[in-house]
């Protein structure tokens, strides 16, 4: 069963040509993974930060599913 999730990104520190930005990425999943997590992610853009946040959420939910058996 796929893990469906959405993300909202807030800029903490914008990226520049010489440094990555810092983003707060809030991710929430759909039932049965209806949890909300917030991650601080350094990335080149808000889109990349959103993708990385969703991937972290999916990894966390998969680990949770495995631990529950």
pLDDT tens-place values along the chain, 69 residues long:
799 999 999 999 999 999 999 999 999 999 999 999 999 999 999 999 999 999 999 999 999 887 776
Q: How many CA atoms lie within 13 A of 44 on its CB side?
A: 2
* pTM assigned to the model: 0.90
* 5-26 residues labelled b (16+ CB within 10 A) or e (exposed): bebebeeeeebeeeebbebebb
**Which strands sit side by side in the sheet containing 21-29, from one edge to the other?**
5-13, 21-29, 36-43
53/42 Cα distance (integer angstroms): 10
């Amino acid at each position: 069963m796929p893990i469906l999730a959405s993300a909202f990104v807030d800029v903490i520190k914008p990226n520049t040509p010489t440094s990555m930005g810092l983003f707060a990425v809030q991710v929430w999943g759909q039932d049965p993974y209806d949890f909300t997590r917030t991650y601080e992610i350094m990335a080149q853009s808000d889109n990349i930060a959103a993708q990385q946040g969703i991937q972290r959420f999916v990894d966390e939910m998969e680990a949770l599913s495995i631990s529950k058996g």
